[in-house]
């Protein structure tokens, strides 16, 4: 497939006219017409229907033009990166669960990157999306979180996908809530104590080979009548600090976070469930210096915040 032919087709689709595209591209109209016919023959589809009103995309043509625009954008981006030297920048990318100790590690890591050009990509999401991003090569490193009882499901899937896994941390969830919460001064909190209040929860639990309904039942039991589901940490802290009837189960939080949002951290009696945070990356991938520096910061944050 000729890239120039693809470019011509995108321009004709944008303008709806062979003549207008020829003027814009400064190419003879018959040449553009011939190029599009060759492109259609190569693909075995009709991209445009020709009429007195101009060139109109067919359903196949609309799909092709969407792909073509994306390909041309990627080519432009690649060319630009080589022209301006940005391809030489050091890059670091990681997809992680929402956790205070991991974001604290990112902050410390950012102080050590030096003066050379660097791009850092940090994504907070659930385990399924993290795994998918690694498999699609969108991110180089990932950290996934799951309950210990799901260990065999995750390890089997990671091995099948060719992903290496290393333990980062083990912990039980703690409760965080406003200092003005009715339970904030209670020495011993039970599950029953929580039932009248509003739970803040992340809305995307996932376990490979298990249905979403089963995971929800196990991770979000029905003893709580009111829940607010959020997808990012900023909203959860706003809710927790502003509404003294809310609470949330989290990995241990730092004292700085608790003070910043006027929160307290409490242990729930009977909460014995263990969670694991696991570092994952492709088998055969060699960690860069940036990767190793982040892992060092991560280990230091884990020792500091997770006892």
| Cβ-contact 264, 181 below 8 angstroms | yes
What is the average per-residue pLDDT within 164-183?
A: 95
pTM: 0.68
Phi-psi region of 208 (alpha: psi -120 to 50; beta: other; left: phi over 0): beta
What is 173-271's CATH number, 3.40.190.10, 3.30.750.24, 2.60.120.10, 3.30.1330.10? Answer: 3.40.190.10
**Sign of the alpha-carbon torsion through 105, 106, 107, 111:** positive
**pLDDT-based confidence at residue 117 (cuts at 50, 70, 90):** confident
- The answer to whether 3-86 and 173-271 have equal CATH topology is no
According to the CATH classification, is domain 89-170+276-305 in 3.30.410.10? Answer: no
How confident is the model over 129-138, as pLDDT tens digits?
899 999 999 9
Question: What is the number of H-type helices and E-type strands within the chain?
Answer: 12, 12
Judge whether residue 215 has pLDDT over 70.
Answer: no
Q: Considering only the top CATH level, what class is 3-86?
A: mainly alpha
Euclidean distance between CA atoms 104 and 95, whole angstroms: 15
What pLDDT is stored for residue 144 in this prediction? 95
What pLDDT is stored for residue 11 in this prediction? 92
**pLDDT-based confidence at residue 213 (cuts at 50, 70, 90):** low
Q: Who contacts 97 (Cβ-Cβ below 8 Å, separation ≥6)?
A: 124, 125, 126, 127, 130, 143, 144, 145, 251, 277
141-147 and 118-124 strand pairing: unpaired
**Sign of the alpha-carbon torsion through 111, 112, 116, 119:** negative
The residue ranges of every structural domain in the chain are 3-86, 89-170+276-305, 173-271
| Cβ-contact 79, 277 below 8 angstroms | no
What pLDDT is stored for residue 221 in this prediction? 62
Q: Kindly report the number of other CB atoms within 10 A of residue 197's CB atom.
A: 18
DSSP 196-230: TSEEEEES----TTS-HHHHHHHHS-TT-SEEEEE
| Cβ-contact 297, 105 below 8 angstroms | yes
Beta bridge partners of 54: 51
Residue length, the chain? 307
Over the chain, what is the mean pLDDT? Answer: 88
């Amino acid at each position: 497939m000729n890239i120039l032919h693809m470019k011509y087709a995108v321009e004709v689709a944008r303008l709806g006219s062979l003549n207008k595209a020829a003027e814009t591209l400064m190419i003879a109209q018959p040449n553009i017409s011939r190029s599009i016919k060759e492109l259609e023959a190569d693909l075995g589809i009709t991209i445009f229907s020709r009429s007195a009103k101009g060139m109109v995309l067919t359903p196949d043509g609309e799909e092709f033009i969407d792909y073509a625009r994306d390909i041309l954008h990627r080519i432009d981006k690649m060319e630009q990166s080589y022209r301006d030297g940005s391809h030489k920048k050091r890059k670091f990318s990681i997809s992680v669960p929402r956790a205070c100790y991991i974001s604290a590690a990112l902050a410390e890591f950012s102080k050590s990157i030096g003066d050379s050009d660097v791009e850092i990509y940090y994504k907070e999401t659930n385990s399924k999306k993290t795994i998918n991003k690694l498999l699609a090569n969108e991110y180089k490193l990932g950290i996934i979180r799951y309950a210990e009882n799901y260990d065999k499901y995750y390890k089997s899937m990671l091995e099948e996908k060719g992903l290496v896994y290393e333990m980062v941390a083990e912990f039980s969830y703690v409760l965080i809530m406003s200092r003005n919460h009715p339970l904030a001064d209670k020495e011993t909190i039970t599950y029953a104590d929580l039932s009248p209040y509003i739970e803040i929860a992340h809305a995307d639990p996932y376990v490979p080979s298990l249905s979403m309904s089963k995971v929800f039942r196990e991770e979000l039991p029905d003893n709580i009548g009111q829940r607010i589901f959020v997808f990012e940490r900023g909203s959860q802290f706003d809710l927790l600090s502003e509404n003294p009837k809310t609470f949330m189960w989290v990995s241990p939080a730092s004292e700085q976070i608790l003070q910043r949002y006027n929160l307290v951290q409490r242990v729930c009696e009977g909460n014995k469930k263990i969670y694991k945070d696991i570092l994952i990356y492709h088998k055969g991938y060699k960690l860069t210096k940036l990767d190793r520096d982040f892992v060092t910061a991560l280990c230091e944050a884990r020792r500091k915040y997770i006892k």
